[in-house]
Amino acid sequence: MTATTDGSTGALPPRAASASETNEPLPEVAGTLGTRDAAVRAIRRATDFLLARQDAQGWWKGDLDTNVTMDAEDLLLRQFLGIRDEKTTHAAALFIRGEQREDGTWATFYGGPGELSTTIEAYVALRLAGDAPDEPHMAKASAWIREQGGIAASRVFTRIWLALFGWWKWEDLPELPPELIYFPKWMPLNIYDFGCWARQTIVPLTIVSAERPVRPAPFPLDELHTDASNPRPVRPPAPLTSWSGVFQRLDKGLHRFRKVAPRRLRKAAVNTAARWIIERQENDGCWGGIQPPAVYSIIALHLLGYDLQHPVMREGMASLDRFAVWREDGARMIEACQSPVWDTCLATIALADAGVPADHPQLVKAAEWMLDEQIDRSGDWAVRRPGLPPGGWAFEFHNDNYPDIDDTAEVILALRRVRHPDSERVERAIGRGVRWNLGMQSKNGAWGAFDVDNTSAFPNRLPFCDFGEVIDPPSADVTAHVVEMLAVEGLSHDPRTRRGIEWLLAEQEPDGSWFGRWGVNYVYGTGSVVPALIAAGIPGAHPAIRRAVAWLENAQNDDGGWGEDLRSYRDATEWSGRGTSTASQTGWALLALLAAGESDSKAVERGIEFLAQTQNEDGSWDEPYFTGTGFPWDFSINYHLYRQVFPLTALGRYVHGEPFAEAKGS
């Protein structure tokens, strides 16, 4: 694997040569004069903007905004380890204060409602930074927290952080026994029943749960309880006839087991879990390329005696520093993860579809970097596919254990758009990627993001798992990207591709849209599926395509753009396809309409005009709204590059036509 960031992700690399400086001008294309000319002009500016932001090594990476729990937990980790310093604390507090809303709360996405656990963690972080509880912004936050039920009503992960300092009792948390590491893969609730992100978090937390550490609290948090004399009110259990009731009683049994568990068995389980963690540390020191597993892994290993100078710990802490984005005002934001492979393949597709020549030096450099990032060793996915040779790509700089099915499909689509001088190397890489993606097909014919048939219903029912998705079932957006890639590779009629197509057609919502698992939401799902179906030979006149087109036309805003609020994950009836227009979501809708043959429609013309009119002079678009999804509703993402790559892709296809048109239906 190659390349790593220097931590200064907020700074832009030196400006690269623009398309007009290195190649022939982008061709003018005849058509509806005003709209077409506006699109060509927007393409020129967006192309120059994107080319200028490529790293010298060939990759692109935009900042990845999530919410302030990343920053709060980073400070709590440093407090727990005894290494919190003034500079880091001041910078983190500056960022956290800047994200507080007028009502005193913190939200999990721009424009969203206040969220209890996020507000609690932000409040505690500011207390660590020295903000007094009687300061107006703090008093407003604590009053709201009490109104929502206080700490007792927060999610389990928040109360775990508080238990580390005695602000909550470990015995009042769900039990997570380390013996879980011994469950065979056929047994319910074995660690491979969990999605890879949950698996990487739960294994270290079994050690933390077993050890139950408590560091001296630097201050009390009585102001965050509804009743300081009874901070942990007892709630009646759910009926035994319900799954919640069953698992609540199972948790009580695990608490009793803790008292009688053989010491040798527990010690062995803890040591096995520690080996599992260490074996999965990446070359750059992180775990899975994402921040939460790294944080919990460091805590777990520290509890087992690994000091901060141990190579595993030293590199782990260094990897966390690379998640920091330092801003011009001195604030420090923590990224939950970094997305260079995803950003690079999407940027490559956007530039190629916008008319940048296939042999442009910057596209060749991007292809070279992507080729170097292909993973050539097995990871946890091989537990369910032991005979499948590796060949996928991950999302991040370093994540060899968990290549991403979605990224692999999009990287292949990007490589097909570049004229790399070593064509044999490209063909070998694509061949390995296609084989790996086909091998990761689930039994229902669709694809998840990281694993095969990761669909057990039991992990979601655990009292411990009260936040976000903990399994990785197939989704329409990932399946669509794989189907589109297979179609471009000439495999439209392969039985495996046809099964994917059949699954997608069966998953269409009654209103004509598709659910978006990894992007917000029905606009993303529909914008992914329609181009894939058309690429695979489904005609534009097919009823499923016509229903999708009608849904998109109905969802278009008065300003010509498309937008969808994250609330659609909670209330599809009210919010599906509804929200403030954004550049990225408008791009998704246009990609579907253009693929469906609607290039001359009024809806497309208005969408193109929206993009042209809202573009900044420097070729960029503004987009404070979160259009990326980590966990539907619970964890949302603002990918800063989405607002650049998807509008440019749509504009390019409007002006230059659909890519690989000759391959469709092959």
Q: Which residues of the chain are modeled with pLDDT < 50?
A: 1-32
Q: In what order do the strands lie in the sheet with 635-639?
A: 64-65, 635-639, 628-631
Query: Which domains are assigned to the chain?
Result: 48-64+337-457+474-660 (1.50.10.20), 67-334 (1.50.10.20)
pLDDT at 118: 98
- Residue where the block lists tokens 């009629």: 493
| CA 438 vs CA 196, 309, 449, 488, 664: distances in Å | 19, 43, 13, 14, 19
Q: Where is 566: in which H helix or E strand?
A: none
* CA atoms of 618 and 137, how far apart (whole Å): 37
Q: What is the DSSP string of 220-263?
A: --GGGSS-TTSSS---PPPPTTSHHHHHHHHHHHHHHHHHHS-H
Q: Are 599 and 613 in contact (CB under 8 A)?
A: no
Cα 295 to Cα 409: distance, rounded to the nearest angstrom: 30
Q: Are 289 and 399 in contact (CB under 8 A)?
A: yes
Q: Which of 327, 301, 277 is nearest to 90 (CA)?
A: 327
pLDDT tens string 548-582? 999 999 999 999 999 999 999 999 999 999 999 99
Q: What is the dihedral of CA 527, 491, 410, 382, to 10 degrees?
A: 120
pLDDT of residue 33: 53
Task: Identify the active-site residue in 404, 406, 407, 565.
Answer: 406
Distance CA 311, CA 309 (A): 6
Distance of CA 89 to the CA centre of its chain: 26
CA–CA separation, 103 and 201 (whole Å) = 32
Where does 60-171 show beta strands of DSSP type E?
Answer: 64-65
Burial of 342 (0-12, 13-18, 19+ CB in 10 A): buried
Q: What share of the chain is helix, strand, coil (3-state, %, to 5)?
A: 50, 5, 45
Please classify residue 41 by burial: count the beta carbons closer than 10 Å to its beta carbon, then call 0-12 exposed, 13-18 middle and 19+ buried: middle
**pTM summary value:** 0.92
What does the DSSP assignment read for 266-306?
HHHHHHHHHHHHHHTB-TTS-BTTBHHHHHHHHHHHHHTT-
Q: Long-range contacts made by residues 306-312, C-beta under 8 angstroms, separation at least 24?
A: 308/81, 308/83, 312/278, 312/281, 312/285
Task: Tokens 């009683």: give the residue.
Answer: 249
How many Å apart are CA 313 and CA 292, to the nearest integer? 15
Query: Which residue in 652, 397, 632, 379 sits closest to 519, CA to CA?
Result: 632
What are the backbone dihedrals phi and psi of residue 587, each rounded to the nearest 5 degrees, phi first? Answer: -60, -45
Q: Is-catalytic flag, 65?
A: no
